[in-house]
Amino acid sequence: MRKTTLTARGALCALGLLTINPSSAQSPEPDEKSPAPPGPAAAGETHQITEKPEASITTNHGIPVADDQNSLKAGIRGPVLLEDFILREKLTHFDHERIPERIVHARGTGAGGYFQVYKSQADITKAAFLQNPDEKTEVFVRFSTVAGQAGSSDTPRDVRGFAVKFYTKEGNYDLVGNNIPVFFIQDAMKFPDLVHAVKPEPDRGFPQAASAHDTFWDFASLTPEINHMLMWVMSDRAIPRSYRMMEGFGVHTFRLVDAKGVSRFVKFHWRPKLGTQSLLWDEAVKIYGSDPDFHRRDLWDAIARGDFPEYELGLQVFDQETADKLDFDILDATKLIPEEVVPLRMVGKLVLNRNVDNFFSETEQVAFLPSNVVPGIEFSNDPLLQGRLFSYQDTQLSRLGGPNFHQLPVNSAKGCPMGFGQNFQRDGMHQMAIPKGRVSYEPNSLDQGTPRENPARGFSSVPEVMNGVKERKRSETFADHYSQARQFFASMTEIEQAHIISAFSFELSKVETPAIRLRMLAHLANIDAKLHDGVAAALGMRDKELPIQPKVAPRDLPPSPPLSILAKAPKTLEGRKIGVLVTDGFSSAALAKLREGAKAAKAALEVIAPKVGGATDDKGNAVPADRTLTTAPSHLFDTVVILASQSGIEDLTSQAPAVDWVRDAFGHLKVIGHSTEAKPLIDKAGLQPDGGVMDLSPENAVGSYLEAAKAGRVWAREPAVRRPG
């Protein structure tokens, strides 16, 4: 066995995640920032780290670490063991890196509401909140970005958190998920590394809330299990139009248990009533600058005007026999189950009807714990989930000042009579209860009024045989890192594929180290030739990368249409916003028709004027403006209208913000309505009008405009205004 220094390619080999194909391997030209990879290993060889004791990873107490990739499990697919002091130390240190801001999901907003089941789900679970359709279970929901700090913006390209706390009569249940159904890594051991890589680089403290930098893509290029998640993050899913138009997922495989003790597997889904919609990248960037609070403002305003966001809870329920037939491991958090294989069972609705009374007390202090489950819901042996069961609780000890954070009002078990909980835990920092009596232990005979165990109603785990070797190792059933990434890309429309190519091109163009870009191109080649060639051409690095031969050859899986946003996009204006730019002398009749049509379509309408005082219509009436031209750029709206008079348009065409307002709306593929008098502004912006630019003067033209706007963006326009790369 040959020993050689571990480099980028050697690291992948040592992880057991790929092999090198000697016949096709060509070493890239070395650069000063990255050593050249070693030559291909001879048959049967593996790459090892040269013996350098001072370079070995150790625990904080100096104990050498043999495996920094995998948790210690009871059997290769078994649960993670509490004795894994290496995992616990790594997660504990990571959990306590930020005080008091969350390490991840720091930037968020919250709202209250209720969940209501459609009908009893007793055939699959005994969970009480899923039984009675006449009951409403109070909830608190927090949406968030992942990578940015609390002071960052709402619209970066990022994963979004979708966490729901159910205050059930059996205690709190926390469904802590994201807007993407898979994750970056397979084992919690790698979570600190992932977040360290995507956070601002530690020597310089930037970039903020962005993955377009060397450390993230270096980690990604050396971690093939990340490839499926990268497809989602580079897609439009990572720049949602609104939290109200965003799907949610529990990510992991959980268990449902019925009253007879029968266990089934389950995946959790949230589906927004308004449909799923995303921003364009250029739009997201401009919103970042003009309204950094775009998403939290959108949620607050919708609830304040009574347009309560609503989501359906869908379950993918399946048994062990179905799990055994799948071509991937259900314990692998980088995989999803296509809806064609296991359809969604829609079981209830989530309605957000209450804005918070105090942002800090509720949104900032809410503590979500994946370990908060109620009887009828249990865990699987997913090694990423198993680590989260420890890590989230541990994190709150720093963030919220000790073990009594559950006593904060937003975290208390308000849905059941126990409130703060009935047990013998006492004292600790920030103790807000005043437990009475002599007894603080169990069993006891001195106080017959103290709580006792309840075998009939209490939480009890499903008996499961655990028989395996204690080891740190990744199951071979976790080894396919490309097939579902390939399926995701194939399931996208051509428009969405072009956006993914653009996103990869943008991100990798900001990576300074050529070797990292080359490794990522090699991964993309294993996913899809069109994807690889498009990104390589945009980077000017075609045919330069060193091929990577996966340990498990990628397979062509059938496309899954539900993975596409555009393929299932509803034609609706409900929940959308119409921006109407007016000048003095504008048509009052046209505005009245627009208001009437917007109300019927359940859309919000805002009037924008050059001045904060508003404008005077053709009847001489003063019409107040909701916002001004400079404070309400067109990228804050889903569709726009210009209502100008002959005299008013002359002033608008001389204003750069007005020209930009129209030009951006066209570039962001919005449907644009305008009065005949506004045509000079269209011309000044240099637009080539298409079917999405509509004169509202003819009879019934307003109705035609609103109908066109229901279709969303004018995608046929996109090739003329931008291209991938």
Catalytic center residues: 105, 178
Complete DSSP assignment for 148-175? S-TTS-S-SS--EEEEEEEEETTEEEEE
Within 13 Å, how many C-alpha atoms sit on residue 366's CB side? 28
Element (H, E) at 267: strand 263-272
Angle between helices 588-600 and 701-710 (to 10 degrees): 40
Residue 18, SS3 per DSSP: strand
The answer to whether residues 708 and 690 touch, using CB atoms and an 8 Å cutoff, is no
Q: Which long-range contacts (CB under 8 A, 24 or more apart) does 293-296 make?
A: 293/153, 293/154, 294/153, 294/154, 294/155, 294/636, 295/109, 295/143, 295/154, 295/155, 295/240, 295/242, 295/243, 296/109, 296/154
The residue type found at 545 is E
Q: Which long-range contacts (CB under 8 A, 24 or more apart) does 117-124 make?
A: 117/347, 117/348, 118/346, 118/347, 118/348, 118/349, 119/347, 121/347, 122/258, 122/259, 123/258, 124/256, 124/258, 124/264, 124/266, 124/315, 124/317
Cα 362 to Cα 165: distance, rounded to the nearest angstrom? 12
Q: How far is CA 246 from CA 41, 226, 431, 658, 680, in A?
A: 47, 22, 38, 31, 38
Cα 395 to Cα 102: distance, rounded to the nearest angstrom? 8
Residue 144, SS3 per DSSP: strand
Cα 179 to Cα 159: distance, rounded to the nearest angstrom? 7
The answer to whether residues 715 and 692 touch, using CB atoms and an 8 Å cutoff, is no
Neighbours of 473 (CB within 10 A): 15
